[in-house]
Structure 1
Amino acid sequence: MLNRLARLKRRVVARRLPHAAAGLPTDPQVEDFLQVARQSFVRLQAAWDAADLRALAALTTDQLLAELQDQLAARGPGPNRTEVLKLDARLLGIEELQEAFVASVEFSGLIRERLDDGAAPFRELWLLANLKSAGRGWQLARVQALG
Protein backbone atom coordinates (compact mmCIF):
# COMPACT_ATOMS: atom_id res chain seq x y z
CA MET A 1 0.00 0.00 0.00
CA LEU A 2 2.80 2.40 0.90
CA ASN A 3 4.49 1.72 -2.46
CA ARG A 4 1.22 2.39 -4.33
CA LEU A 5 0.81 5.62 -2.39
CA ALA A 6 4.37 6.67 -3.17
CA ARG A 7 3.76 6.04 -6.90
CA LEU A 8 0.53 8.04 -6.71
CA LYS A 9 2.34 10.88 -4.96
CA ARG A 10 5.06 10.92 -7.63
CA ARG A 11 2.42 11.02 -10.40
CA VAL A 12 0.49 13.83 -8.75
CA VAL A 13 3.58 15.90 -8.01
CA ALA A 14 5.15 15.21 -11.43
CA ARG A 15 1.97 16.21 -13.25
CA ARG A 16 1.18 19.26 -11.15
CA LEU A 17 0.90 22.23 -13.47
CA PRO A 18 1.80 25.80 -12.56
CA HIS A 19 -1.75 26.94 -13.36
CA ALA A 20 -4.16 25.89 -10.59
CA ALA A 21 -7.11 26.13 -13.01
CA ALA A 22 -5.56 23.40 -15.16
CA GLY A 23 -6.10 20.89 -12.32
CA LEU A 24 -4.64 17.41 -12.22
CA PRO A 25 -4.89 14.91 -15.03
CA THR A 26 -7.18 11.96 -14.56
CA ASP A 27 -5.46 8.82 -13.36
CA PRO A 28 -7.10 5.57 -12.20
CA GLN A 29 -5.31 5.68 -8.84
CA VAL A 30 -6.31 9.30 -8.26
CA GLU A 31 -9.93 8.43 -9.11
CA ASP A 32 -9.81 5.45 -6.72
CA PHE A 33 -8.50 7.72 -3.97
CA LEU A 34 -11.20 10.32 -4.66
CA GLN A 35 -13.93 7.66 -4.60
CA VAL A 36 -12.79 6.63 -1.11
CA ALA A 37 -12.63 10.30 -0.10
CA ARG A 38 -16.21 10.88 -1.28
CA GLN A 39 -17.39 7.83 0.65
CA SER A 40 -15.59 9.13 3.75
CA PHE A 41 -17.29 12.51 3.32
CA VAL A 42 -20.73 10.90 3.34
CA ARG A 43 -19.83 8.57 6.25
CA LEU A 44 -18.53 11.51 8.27
CA GLN A 45 -21.77 13.46 7.69
CA ALA A 46 -23.81 10.44 8.87
CA ALA A 47 -21.60 9.96 11.94
CA TRP A 48 -21.93 13.68 12.76
CA ASP A 49 -25.72 13.55 12.41
CA ALA A 50 -25.93 10.52 14.72
CA ALA A 51 -23.33 11.94 17.15
CA ASP A 52 -21.55 8.58 16.72
CA LEU A 53 -18.21 9.14 18.44
CA ARG A 54 -16.94 5.67 17.55
CA ALA A 55 -17.52 6.27 13.83
CA LEU A 56 -16.06 9.78 14.06
CA ALA A 57 -12.97 8.38 15.80
CA ALA A 58 -12.46 5.91 12.94
CA LEU A 59 -12.61 8.72 10.37
CA THR A 60 -10.66 11.52 12.07
CA THR A 61 -7.38 12.23 13.79
CA ASP A 62 -7.42 12.43 17.59
CA GLN A 63 -7.04 16.22 17.51
CA LEU A 64 -9.98 16.73 15.16
CA LEU A 65 -12.08 14.25 17.13
CA ALA A 66 -11.58 16.37 20.26
CA GLU A 67 -12.76 19.45 18.35
CA LEU A 68 -15.80 17.59 17.01
CA GLN A 69 -16.70 16.39 20.52
CA ASP A 70 -16.73 20.01 21.69
CA GLN A 71 -18.92 21.00 18.72
CA LEU A 72 -21.32 18.12 19.41
CA ALA A 73 -21.62 19.21 23.03
CA ALA A 74 -22.42 22.77 21.88
CA ARG A 75 -24.93 21.43 19.33
CA GLY A 76 -26.87 19.65 22.03
CA PRO A 77 -28.80 16.39 21.96
CA GLY A 78 -31.28 17.34 19.24
CA PRO A 79 -31.40 15.39 15.99
CA ASN A 80 -29.37 16.49 13.02
CA ARG A 81 -29.86 15.47 9.41
CA THR A 82 -27.50 16.23 6.55
CA GLU A 83 -28.39 15.27 3.01
CA VAL A 84 -25.59 15.33 0.45
CA LEU A 85 -27.32 16.01 -2.87
CA LYS A 86 -24.26 16.52 -5.07
CA LEU A 87 -20.62 15.84 -4.22
CA ASP A 88 -17.56 16.63 -6.32
CA ALA A 89 -14.00 15.99 -5.18
CA ARG A 90 -10.69 17.16 -6.59
CA LEU A 91 -7.26 16.08 -5.38
CA LEU A 92 -5.12 19.20 -5.09
CA GLY A 93 -1.94 17.45 -4.01
CA ILE A 94 -0.21 14.96 -1.76
CA GLU A 95 2.73 15.91 0.42
CA GLU A 96 5.08 13.56 2.22
CA LEU A 97 6.03 14.82 5.64
CA GLN A 98 8.36 13.13 8.09
CA GLU A 99 5.54 11.41 10.02
CA ALA A 100 2.72 11.28 7.48
CA PHE A 101 1.40 11.71 3.99
CA VAL A 102 -1.05 14.61 3.74
CA ALA A 103 -3.58 14.87 0.91
CA SER A 104 -5.49 18.06 0.12
CA VAL A 105 -8.94 17.40 -1.32
CA GLU A 106 -11.39 20.08 -2.38
CA PHE A 107 -15.03 19.05 -1.96
CA SER A 108 -17.91 21.00 -3.46
CA GLY A 109 -21.53 20.38 -4.25
CA LEU A 110 -25.00 20.79 -2.80
CA ILE A 111 -26.04 19.93 0.74
CA ARG A 112 -29.25 20.24 2.75
CA GLU A 113 -28.95 20.42 6.53
CA ARG A 114 -32.65 20.74 7.41
CA LEU A 115 -35.66 19.10 5.82
CA ASP A 116 -37.48 22.40 5.35
CA ASP A 117 -34.43 24.19 3.87
CA GLY A 118 -33.43 24.26 0.25
CA ALA A 119 -30.14 22.84 -0.96
CA ALA A 120 -27.15 25.07 -0.41
CA PRO A 121 -23.86 25.03 -2.31
CA PHE A 122 -20.73 24.34 -0.31
CA ARG A 123 -16.99 24.26 -0.93
CA GLU A 124 -14.51 22.84 1.59
CA LEU A 125 -10.85 21.90 1.76
CA TRP A 126 -10.16 18.67 3.61
CA LEU A 127 -6.69 17.72 4.78
CA LEU A 128 -6.42 13.95 5.05
CA ALA A 129 -3.48 12.46 6.94
CA ASN A 130 -2.06 8.98 6.72
CA LEU A 131 0.30 8.63 9.69
CA LYS A 132 3.18 6.34 8.83
CA SER A 133 3.44 4.94 12.36
CA ALA A 134 -0.26 4.51 13.13
CA GLY A 135 -1.32 2.18 10.33
CA ARG A 136 -4.89 3.53 10.53
CA GLY A 137 -5.12 4.66 6.90
CA TRP A 138 -6.36 8.05 5.76
CA GLN A 139 -8.04 10.17 8.42
CA LEU A 140 -9.53 13.63 8.30
CA ALA A 141 -7.20 16.05 10.07
CA ARG A 142 -8.67 19.46 9.21
CA VAL A 143 -11.65 21.01 7.40
CA GLN A 144 -11.69 24.54 6.06
CA ALA A 145 -14.68 26.22 4.45
CA LEU A 146 -13.80 27.90 1.16
CA GLY A 147 -15.67 30.97 -0.05
Structure 2
Amino acid sequence: GEAVSEDAHHLTEAPAWFDADQFVEGAKGHFISLQKAWDSADLSEVESYCSPELFAEIKAEMKDMKAGDNETVVDTLNAELVDMAIDGEYFIASIRFSGFIQEDSAEGAHAFNEVWHIRRLANDEGTWQVSGIQQGH
Protein backbone atom coordinates (compact mmCIF):
# COMPACT_ATOMS: atom_id res chain seq x y z
CA GLY A 1 0.00 0.00 0.00
CA GLU A 2 0.98 3.53 -0.61
CA ALA A 3 2.77 5.47 2.05
CA VAL A 4 2.46 9.22 2.35
CA SER A 5 3.33 10.94 -0.94
CA GLU A 6 6.43 13.09 -1.41
CA ASP A 7 4.16 16.13 -1.73
CA ALA A 8 2.68 15.65 1.74
CA HIS A 9 3.03 18.40 4.33
CA HIS A 10 4.09 16.83 7.65
CA LEU A 11 2.52 18.34 10.75
CA THR A 12 4.05 18.99 14.15
CA GLU A 13 0.66 19.80 15.70
CA ALA A 14 -2.57 17.90 15.20
CA PRO A 15 -5.69 19.62 13.87
CA ALA A 16 -8.00 20.80 16.67
CA TRP A 17 -10.54 18.05 15.89
CA PHE A 18 -7.99 15.21 16.17
CA ASP A 19 -7.71 13.41 19.54
CA ALA A 20 -4.43 11.48 19.26
CA ASP A 21 -4.89 9.32 22.38
CA GLN A 22 -8.40 8.26 21.42
CA PHE A 23 -7.25 7.63 17.84
CA VAL A 24 -4.39 5.35 18.92
CA GLU A 25 -6.72 3.31 21.18
CA GLY A 26 -9.28 3.01 18.37
CA ALA A 27 -6.56 1.99 15.92
CA LYS A 28 -5.57 -0.92 18.18
CA GLY A 29 -9.14 -2.22 18.04
CA HIS A 30 -9.20 -1.86 14.27
CA PHE A 31 -5.89 -3.71 13.97
CA ILE A 32 -7.37 -6.71 15.79
CA SER A 33 -10.64 -6.52 13.82
CA LEU A 34 -8.73 -6.49 10.53
CA GLN A 35 -6.67 -9.51 11.60
CA LYS A 36 -9.92 -11.39 12.31
CA ALA A 37 -11.41 -10.33 8.96
CA TRP A 38 -8.22 -11.52 7.21
CA ASP A 39 -8.35 -14.88 9.01
CA SER A 40 -12.01 -15.40 8.05
CA ALA A 41 -11.33 -14.24 4.45
CA ASP A 42 -14.12 -11.67 4.91
CA LEU A 43 -13.57 -9.35 1.95
CA SER A 44 -16.48 -7.04 2.76
CA GLU A 45 -15.20 -6.49 6.31
CA VAL A 46 -11.65 -5.83 5.06
CA GLU A 47 -13.02 -3.42 2.45
CA SER A 48 -14.89 -1.46 5.14
CA TYR A 49 -11.54 -0.51 6.74
CA CYS A 50 -9.43 0.21 3.64
CA SER A 51 -9.00 2.80 0.93
CA PRO A 52 -10.06 1.51 -2.51
CA GLU A 53 -6.40 1.39 -3.59
CA LEU A 54 -5.23 -0.67 -0.62
CA PHE A 55 -8.28 -2.92 -0.79
CA ALA A 56 -7.46 -3.80 -4.41
CA GLU A 57 -3.98 -4.94 -3.29
CA ILE A 58 -5.30 -6.93 -0.32
CA LYS A 59 -8.08 -8.51 -2.40
CA ALA A 60 -5.44 -9.80 -4.84
CA GLU A 61 -3.45 -11.28 -1.91
CA MET A 62 -6.59 -12.93 -0.52
CA LYS A 63 -7.86 -14.45 -3.80
CA ASP A 64 -6.81 -18.00 -2.93
CA MET A 65 -7.53 -17.78 0.80
CA LYS A 66 -10.31 -19.64 2.52
CA ALA A 67 -11.75 -18.90 5.93
CA GLY A 68 -9.65 -20.70 8.51
CA ASP A 69 -6.45 -20.82 6.42
CA ASN A 70 -4.91 -18.41 8.92
CA GLU A 71 -5.43 -18.06 12.63
CA THR A 72 -3.82 -14.93 13.96
CA VAL A 73 -3.35 -14.52 17.70
CA VAL A 74 -2.18 -11.09 18.84
CA ASP A 75 -0.14 -11.74 22.00
CA THR A 76 1.12 -8.21 22.57
CA LEU A 77 0.05 -5.06 20.72
CA ASN A 78 1.68 -1.66 21.08
CA ALA A 79 0.56 1.36 19.07
CA GLU A 80 2.21 4.75 18.72
CA LEU A 81 1.37 7.80 16.59
CA VAL A 82 4.57 8.41 14.61
CA ASP A 83 3.55 10.96 11.97
CA MET A 84 0.76 13.25 10.84
CA ALA A 85 0.53 14.82 7.41
CA ILE A 86 -1.76 16.61 5.01
CA ASP A 87 -1.56 14.85 1.65
CA GLY A 88 -3.80 16.40 -0.97
CA GLU A 89 -7.32 16.44 0.47
CA TYR A 90 -6.45 13.92 3.21
CA PHE A 91 -5.18 14.12 6.77
CA ILE A 92 -3.03 11.03 7.36
CA ALA A 93 -2.11 9.67 10.77
CA SER A 94 0.67 7.07 10.76
CA ILE A 95 0.57 4.49 13.56
CA ARG A 96 3.44 2.14 14.38
CA PHE A 97 2.10 -1.21 15.54
CA SER A 98 4.54 -3.54 17.23
CA GLY A 99 4.48 -6.49 19.56
CA PHE A 100 4.15 -10.24 19.24
CA ILE A 101 1.80 -12.09 16.93
CA GLN A 102 1.24 -15.77 16.21
CA GLU A 103 0.07 -16.68 12.70
CA ASP A 104 0.72 -20.42 12.78
CA SER A 105 -0.15 -22.63 15.74
CA ALA A 106 2.87 -24.85 14.99
CA GLU A 107 5.21 -21.91 15.49
CA GLY A 108 5.33 -19.61 18.46
CA ALA A 109 4.65 -15.92 18.47
CA HIS A 110 7.10 -13.69 16.64
CA ALA A 111 7.87 -10.00 16.87
CA PHE A 112 6.30 -7.70 14.31
CA ASN A 113 6.69 -4.02 13.51
CA GLU A 114 4.66 -2.21 10.88
CA VAL A 115 3.38 1.28 10.17
CA TRP A 116 -0.20 1.79 9.05
CA HIS A 117 -1.14 5.02 7.27
CA ILE A 118 -4.74 5.87 8.12
CA ARG A 119 -6.46 8.69 6.25
CA ARG A 120 -9.53 10.86 6.50
CA LEU A 121 -10.60 13.94 4.60
CA ALA A 122 -8.69 16.89 6.08
CA ASN A 123 -11.91 18.84 6.67
CA ASP A 124 -12.89 16.31 9.39
CA GLU A 125 -15.50 14.59 7.21
CA GLY A 126 -15.88 11.00 6.12
CA THR A 127 -14.59 7.79 7.63
CA TRP A 128 -11.06 6.71 8.46
CA GLN A 129 -9.47 4.36 5.92
CA VAL A 130 -6.22 2.39 6.10
CA SER A 131 -4.43 3.62 2.97
CA GLY A 132 -1.04 1.94 3.34
CA ILE A 133 0.86 -0.63 5.39
CA GLN A 134 4.66 -0.66 5.62
CA GLN A 135 6.33 -3.75 7.08
CA GLY A 136 9.28 -3.67 9.46
CA HIS A 137 10.19 -0.01 9.75
The interval holding the TM-score normalised by the smaller chain is 0.7 to 0.9
Structure 2 Cα separation of the partners of residues 120 and 51 of structure 1 = 22
User: Greater shift after overlay, 91-100 or 36-45?
Assistant: 91-100
CA gap of 1:103–1:43, structure 2 versus 1, over 3 A, is: same
User: Greater shift after overlay, 77-86 or 60-69?
Assistant: 77-86
Tell me, what secondary structure is at the counterpart of 1:48?
Answer: helix
Task: Give the number of the structure whose residues are more often helix, by fraction.
Answer: 1
User: Is the Cα contact below 8 Å between 2:40 and 2:66 reproduced in 1?
Assistant: no
1:63-115 CA-to-partner distances (Å, cap 9, x unmatched) read 111111110114x3262110111000110121123311011111100000012
Partner of 1:42: 32
Tell me, what secondary structure is at the counterpart of 1:13?
Answer: coil
Partner of 2:7: none
Question: How far has the Cα of 1:132 moved from its partner?
Answer: 4.8
Partner of 1:62: 52
CA gap of 1:120–1:137, structure 2 versus 1, over 3 A, is: same
Q: 2:83 aligns with which of 90, 93, 98?
A: 93
Structure 2 Cα separation of the partners of residues 94 and 45 of structure 1 = 24
The answer to whether residue 101 in structure 2 is matched with residue 111 in structure 1 is yes
Partner of 2:12: 13
The answer to whether residue 132 in structure 2 is matched with residue 142 in structure 1 is yes
Structure 1 Cα separation of the partners of residues 74 and 32 of structure 2 = 7
Q: What stretches of structure 1 of length at least 5 have no aligned partner? A: 1-11, 16-28
Q: What stretches of structure 2 of length at least 5 have no aligned partner? A: 1-10
The answer to whether residue 127 in structure 2 is matched with residue 127 in structure 1 is no
The answer to whether residue 41 in structure 2 is matched with residue 51 in structure 1 is yes
Structure 2 Cα separation of the partners of residues 120 and 53 of structure 1 = 26
Identical pairs, percent? 31
> What's the RMSD between the two structures over aligned residues?
2.1
